[in-house]
Structure 1
């Protein structure tokens, strides 16, 4: 059911997954419980590339050949989902551990895999479809969910899927954001972070096209109920896109490997990856061309602020948006800090005791921030409330977060973060200016740098990619 020889393993690097995963995500977000959980807790708006990379890593762990890795990842996912519960805007409860909700997530992945094959002119045969369905059932069983929430047979699955589409799905806020806002505002991946003009031009062209393709691929009953527009030519565009993606499978295997593409998108200029040097050189050439254009037709400079206060406020609010507001809803509250803990725990692949310790440290910091910054008592912190207090916020709870993060990164407990431990946390080469001349990154230096970063005093540090990257 897993690893080489499984149908999912054969399909995992298929370029058509790029379209199918967007479709599956829209169908997931249309479920009222999942949509509410995404709005309240997910980083998919502010950090979509990071979210995509983490999803790919998780899927490959779950469907890989190593049983130990698979069960360890299943336990991590269960701990993650156990922390996601609440109520939506209509006061309806949601719970990420609800077995019916988890079954729907698996159902959307399976249906989208079948759909991508059909739309690209290579439909799965019945036996292959049944085998793929059994693999997704095994995936759900590995998470510990009892049989029955997902139909036992493929013959029973299709009526279940049609009923969910026609009766349970809604035109949720999360679904509308994915379809109509996410691609319009999609930040550049780290790979293209220094090329805003190029990225904005490409996004302007690609965003509406991807949205039209995704809407056209959704089940017709849901499109009708949700009031999604029928765009002339969208069906032809959709089938052409899937056919083109299907042809891309004949490219050399290394070109379309999902993990490789995700790693490339997340590559930072100071990485020790050999590809970083080529990308940095390309960036420099493009910047020089842009500088020449600006010399020919310079843009007017903004008027200076004689007090200097605007520049300080803008810096604080920009740090608030890029780092603190992890969910992208314009506020700082507990889901934002929980997202930080979730990202760091995932990077370091922590076991339960270390992960729980990190979450508790962030929870204490949230209580400290709420007490110091929530001046109007609404239970959350605005960018303005934060900007008024920065950069003097580095209390005992934030120091504790830094201490715990150092402990869980220092796997061997030698009180130094060595090159391998550094790479696991920062995903980049060891910085020589942090070793203190002692062959590692010591606790005192680490805590000092972390506090400077999280208090908003320093932003040009190796800590930026930790929580600020899209």
Structure 2
């Protein structure tokens, strides 16, 4: 993929080769129906979670909003497991929830977002209610789902990609992103993505936060020893080249080969794991949200 975004400044345009990861192989259809976003609810989807956070934060308004957030109860570096539950619950509701459940979760998120805005005179202005920033976050989430799905199942053709994408709008519209803002077709999404990536510019604050994230400094040292190396490898592999450059993450051709070989193996093994096992994590999050709603408990 080499389609480029128009750049009025005359600088070299970004391409999809720079802003998306390469996907080897050809899609292996699961039956005769077209793929949809729900098919990406696989526990291996979470292997790209840290990379997705890093991609979101590479946009200055998001990066500084996360790094400076005063909402300590949901801060990633303070309460990582709670933040993981909150994000997983949001994704579950966006993909599996009813309109009423989406509305309830939107209200809960809005309470937290009201506190996330920059101070007067801050070097980067941001507001968690900025729909353009929310669209960027939702677009990153979509890219994460599409990448993980294709790494496990092979590259989709344009028709399959459009079918998959056609079910993705709730990733944004479950919050303040309007249906009109969400790119209409998969091709439109590529155009949006290239334009949006032009605004990626990670500074030292964001790089330091991402470095803490990649080295798991928010969890106990014993878990860092066990999982640290694998997480850094997976995260670097999920980052497109332009994001690696912005975040100062090293990656070699040999690393890329190892990454592709890993997912070729995982994709093969995944064929023999029942679907209800692979998506059990997300469905348990959905069940937890419904249980909290029935008991009138906080959703976040």
Q: 2:248 aligns with which of 227, 230, 237?
A: 227
- TM-score by length of structure 1 reads 0.48
Q: Which residue of 2 aligns with 1:92?
A: 124
Residue 111 of structure 1 and its aligned partner are, at CA, apart by: 1.3
CA distance in 1, matches of 2:248, 2:283: 38
Q: How does 1:267-282 map to 2 (within 5 A)?
A: none
**Structure 2 vs 1, CA of residues 75 and 180 (structure 1 numbering), >3 Å: closer, same or farther?**
closer
Q: Does 1:213 align with 2:245?
A: no
- TM-score by length of structure 2 reads 0.71
Q: Does 1:77 align with 2:105?
A: no
| Aligned residues of 1:31 and 1:168 also touching (Cα < 8 A) | yes
Residue 84 of structure 1 and its aligned partner are, at CA, apart by: 1.5
Q: Which residue of 2 aligns with 1:258?
A: 281
Residue 71 of structure 1 and its aligned partner are, at CA, apart by: 2.1
CA distance in 2, matches of 1:262, 1:93: 33
Q: Does 1:18 align with 2:46?
A: yes
Alpha carbon RMSD of aligned pairs, Å? 3.5
Residue 21 of structure 1 and its aligned partner are, at CA, apart by: 2.4
Q: Does 1:145 align with 2:177?
A: yes
Q: Which residue of 1 aligns with 2:165?
A: 133
Residue 15 of structure 1 and its aligned partner are, at CA, apart by: 2.5
**Structure 2 vs 1, CA of residues 237 and 209 (structure 1 numbering), >3 Å: closer, same or farther?**
farther
| Aligned residues of 2:40 and 2:148 also touching (Cα < 8 A) | no
Q: How does 1:172-211 map to 2 (within 5 A)?
A: 173-188=205-220, 200=222, 203-211=224-232
**Structure 2 vs 1, CA of residues 148 and 69 (structure 1 numbering), >3 Å: closer, same or farther?**
closer
**Structure 2 vs 1, CA of residues 88 and 122 (structure 1 numbering), >3 Å: closer, same or farther?**
farther
**Structure 2 vs 1, CA of residues 227 and 182 (structure 1 numbering), >3 Å: closer, same or farther?**
closer
Larger Rg belongs to: 1
Q: Specify the SS of the correspondent of 2:89.
A: helix
Higher relative contact order (Cα pairs below 8 Å, separated by 6+ residues): 2
Gaps of 5+ in 2: 1-33
Q: 1:30 aligns with which of 39, 58, 66?
A: 58
Q: Does 1:43 align with 2:75?
A: yes
| Aligned residues of 2:94 and 2:171 also touching (Cα < 8 A) | yes
CA distance in 1, matches of 2:161, 2:127: 30
Gaps of 5+ in 1: 189-198, 264-345, 351-408, 412-423, 426-465
| Aligned residues of 2:212 and 2:218 also touching (Cα < 8 A) | no
Count of residues in Structure 1 that have an aligned counterpart in Structure 2: 259
Q: Does 1:169 align with 2:190?
A: no
